[in-house]
């Protein structure tokens, strides 16, 4: 059933043309030093900010998990930005396995 909603309501509900997308990142880490990890975090934050994105997440000794969204309201990361992040993570020797998810609706698919 199609819902006929006003533009104002679609905006409040982040639906239709106001849908916001993001993507999940899960990485399994190799053996690494604290210095290697600190360097990775600094470089990763620089990369994410250079793409005008925001990241939130956490890590343990074995795994790094985060979710990436746009820094701008009502905007989403592009497929190109997702691929930039994925390629950079795959090239980093601190990870044994990298999984970058597809773009998903932040408000309804998580």
- For residue 33, the 8-state DSSP code is -
Q: Would strands 104-105 and 63-70 be described as parallel, antiparallel, or unpaired?
A: unpaired
Structure confidence at residue 31 (pLDDT): 87
CA neighbours within 13 Å on the CB side: how many for 100? 18
Task: Give the pLDDT of the chain (110 residues) as one tens digit per residue.
Answer: 457 889 999 899 888 899 999 999 999 999 888 999 999 999 999 999 999 999 999 998 899 999 999 999 889 999 999 999 999 999 999 999 999 999 999 998 76
Distance CA 58, CA 38 (A): 13
How far is the C-alpha of 106 from the C-alpha of 42, rounded, in Å? Answer: 25
């Amino acid at each position: 059933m199609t819902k006929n909603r006003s533009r104002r309501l679609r905006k409040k509900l982040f639906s239709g043309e106001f849908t916001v997308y993001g993507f999940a990142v899960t990485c399994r880490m190799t053996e690494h030093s604290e210095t290697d990890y600190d360097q990775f975090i600094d470089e990763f934050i620089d990369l994410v900010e250079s793409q005008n994105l925001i990241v939130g997440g956490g890590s343990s000794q074995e795994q790094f998990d985060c979710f990436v969204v746009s820094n701008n309201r009502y905007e989403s990361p592009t497929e190109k930005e997702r691929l930039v992040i994925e390629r950079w993570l795959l090239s980093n020797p601190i990870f044994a396995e990298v999984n970058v998810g597809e773009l998903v609706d932040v408000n309804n698919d998580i």
